[in-house]
Amino acid sequence: MSNKVLSNKELDYVRSREAADGSSTEKSGGVLVNDFEEKKEPELTGFAKIKDSFRRYDSEELNLDPNLTDIEKTAIMTANSPLSRKLKNRHLQMIALGGSIGTGLFVGSGSTLRTGGPAGVLIGYGIISTMILCMVNAAGELSVTFPVSGAFVTYNTRFLDPSLSFSLAWNYALQWLVVLPLELVAASMTIQYWDTTTNPAAYVVIFYVLIVAINFFGVKGYGEAEFLFSLIKVLAVTGFIILGIVLVCGGGPNDEGYIGGRYWHNPGAIHNGFKGVCSVFVTAAFAFAGTELAALGAAETADVRKSLPKATKQVFWRIALFYIISLTLVGLLVPYNDERLLGSSSVDANASPFVISIKNAQIKGLPSVMNAVIMIAVLSVGNSSVFASSRTLAAIASAGMAPKIFAYIDKAGRPLFGIIFQCIFGLLCFVCASSKEGDVFTWLLALSGLSSLFTWGGIMLCHIRFRRALYVQGRDTSELVFKSQFGVYGSYYGVTIIGLILIAQFWIALFPSNKPSALNFFENYLGAIVVLAFYIPHKLWRRGSLYIKAKDIDLDTGRRELDLDLLKQEIAEEKEILASKPLYKRIYHFWC
């Protein structure tokens, strides 16, 4: 309400009219001043402010038309989520750059080197890398256009099918629920590099409390922690690349001389043939798990239009520099028949080929530094698991696919009960004190083994359906702020690669040797069975068609810019400005 200059007579009249509802009007230099404009609630401080932040976010109830379909209601609910928008550009940049650098790279690469050989590792990670590039571009396009709660977790409902969305959403939630206890135990096992006498459970308590505390600070706490963790990981991998080049060229202190491609000739470049190369795919997929987290944070990003495209483009550099180059050096420095690789597992940092290569060079002190980095990487993934699972649970609860209590968002923008549930589930980490630790974690890992592949496949299928809906409804990509650099054909390619990987993994899981093994099959293919276990009952209950027709897909709910004509004009102006810049700046903009 704007203030209006009034005469004394007019002020007297207004006072008499407002007397009935108890509001007062005072004159200050002939200016009308109302109680509801001037009075403010006392600002809370200290413990009272902290306590108040846990109360439910007081937002206006959405008066949804009862005639709306479930899909339309889901789109509206997720678009109006009260999650806090506190992630800044630097947070998304570093989360994208170092978010998925974890045990999959530092430790899991040891098992792939042992089973596939150095060339097998590069082939497997290279193929997965091309698929990841297509996936993050698809996720970036969708998330910039629709920065809604849950992002790709809820896109499946809008673009594919509610039953498929239900199964993939719970698949993604379970993936991250399982990761927290796994990573906490991995961190405690890493500590044993220095301390073999203390019970690992003691360290689990420390790490558990740290991760819980970080996430109760809200999305800003997660963002700042990941910024620091990712910065350390990026610096560590960069340092290892420089050291690796020096060692390969014979600059190590052990006087071993020029190494070059010695281990590619003896014992060899590929181990176990085609099956060995295929065995790399799932471990490589596990290594890249978390690449999609930048898109998941779209609803909590202050300026998603500028921040998310930059974060998406950074994935190319992360893959090229931190995965392909570092794994090439690892394959040159460590032979695949090194006995220390035989103990490779997700919780044995001593089997890390990064650590082994430094030990082989007889560089004192650096193995301890590398183990410390591995521990930080493990904590980073554990921290990300709380963020990912709680936001997923909040999104699917808003969509009516999980208990409503998980949709509780407090005044600080935290999905409170989602965080609490993840922290309770994380208590499974204390089985590290049990003699059955190995069995429990084998099956927990089996639950999440293939889940990333289904998540990524869902993202690219949504992108394909989104582009199809634009075409059928007579619209085009001129209204998109950010477009996938590989277009819809990149998503077709990515889905094809995932399909082939699932077929190859089915073969390896069922026939690890010449004879079939039921135990090995369920340990390695349980993730696919979980997806079907969610999908089939939900589809039988809901019935309906197998997919949503392109002409019925909602292309507007959830957008932050609803004036499409104005948006197209702004995009055109931005393109003109970019076109006027020098060639090197245009190239930089395309890749960065």
Contact 141, 482 (CB under 8 A): yes
Q: Are 35 and 80 in a shared domain?
A: no
- Read off the pLDDT band of 245 (50, 70, 90): very high
Query: Which of 55-69, 228-242, 479-493 has the lowest average pLDDT?
Result: 55-69
Distance CA 522, CA 518 (A): 6
For residue 525, is pLDDT > 80?
yes
52 in a structural domain: no
Q: Are 24 and 104 in a shared domain?
A: no
pLDDT tens digit sequence for 330-356 = 999 999 888 888 554 444 556 788 888
Q: What is the mean pLDDT of residues 282-310?
A: 71
Backbone φ and ψ of 25, nearest 5°? -125, 130
Contact 336, 265 (CB under 8 A): no
Provide the CATH number for the domain around residue 386. 1.20.1740.10
Residue from 241, 534, 305 nearest 401 by CA: 534
pLDDT at residue 118, rounded to an integer: 92
Number of structural domains in the chain: 2
Query: Which of 152-156, 297-301, 329-333, 572-576 has the lowest average pLDDT?
Result: 297-301
Contact 104, 283 (CB under 8 A): yes
482 in a structural domain: yes
CA dist list (Å): 404 to 148, 261, 430? 18, 58, 29
Distance CA 498, CA 138 (A): 15
Q: Are 324 and 285 in a shared domain?
A: yes
584 in a structural domain: no
Q: What is the mean pLDDT of residues 206-232?
A: 81
Residue from 427, 460, 457 nearest 444 by CA: 427
314 in a structural domain: yes
Cα 54 to the center of its chain, rounded Å: 25
Q: Are 108 and 5 in a shared domain?
A: no
Instruction: Give residue 29's domain range.
Output: 1-39
Query: Which of 74-88, 224-238, 255-269, 467-481 has the lowest average pLDDT?
Result: 74-88
Distance CA 169, CA 395 (A): 9
The full length of the chain comes to 592
pLDDT tens digit sequence for 180-205 = 888 787 777 777 777 777 777 788 88
Q: Residue 31's beta-bridge partner residues?
A: 5
Distance CA 397, CA 255 (A): 61
* Residues in CB range of 386: below 8 A, 6 or more apart: 176, 180, 211, 212, 214, 215, 222, 419, 422, 423, 426
Q: Which tokens belong to 328? A: 């090439």
Q: Are 31 and 139 in a shared domain?
A: no
Distance CA 246, CA 378 (A): 27
Q: Are 152 and 4 in a shared domain?
A: no
Contact 149, 418 (CB under 8 A): no
46 in a structural domain: no
Q: Which tokens belong to 580? A: 């006027």
Distance CA 69, CA 3 (A): 44
Contact 410, 84 (CB under 8 A): no
Q: What is the mean pLDDT of residues 523-540?
A: 87
Q: Which tokens belong to 395? A: 């999104």
CA dist list (Å): 93 to 146, 147, 307, 401? 19, 17, 8, 31
pLDDT at residue 32, rounded to an integer: 43
Q: Are 381 and 434 in a shared domain?
A: yes
Backbone φ and ψ of 415, nearest 5°? -75, 85
Distance CA 402, CA 388 (A): 15
Q: Which tokens belong to 566? A: 């104005």
Contact 281, 130 (CB under 8 A): no
pLDDT at residue 348, rounded to an integer: 56
582 in a structural domain: no
For the chain, helix, strand, coil in percent to 5 are: 70, 0, 25
pLDDT at residue 76, rounded to an integer: 55
Q: Are 237 and 195 in a shared domain?
A: yes
390 in a structural domain: yes
pLDDT tens digit sequence for 430-448 = 877 777 666 676 677 777 7
Q: Are 444 and 547 in a shared domain?
A: yes
Exposure on the CB side of residue 456, measured as CA atoms within 13 A: 33
Q: What percent of the chain clears pLDDT 90, i.e. is strictly above it?
A: 10
Q: Are 30 and 157 in a shared domain?
A: no
- Read off the pLDDT band of 472 (50, 70, 90): very high
Q: Are 97 and 19 in a shared domain?
A: no
Q: Residue 34's beta-bridge partner residues?
A: 25
Q: Which tokens belong to 291? A: 């690449």
Q: Are 4 and 102 in a shared domain?
A: no
For residue 26, is pLDDT > 50?
no
**Strands, DSSP E only, in 117-206?**
none
pLDDT tens digit sequence for 144-172 = 888 766 567 778 888 988 888 889 888 88
511 in a structural domain: yes
Q: DSSP labels for 476-490?
A: -GGG-SS--TTHHHH
Q: Which residues of 27-38 are buried (b: 16+ CB within 10 A; e: fewer)?
A: beeeebeeeeee
Q: DSSP labels for 226-265?
A: HHHHHHHHHHHHHHHHHHHHHHHTT-STT-----TTHHHH
Contact 432, 200 (CB under 8 A): yes
Q: Which tokens belong to 82? A: 């009260």
Distance CA 210, CA 81 (A): 27
Measured over the CA atoms of residue 407, residue 415, residue 306 and residue 97, the dihedral's sign is negative
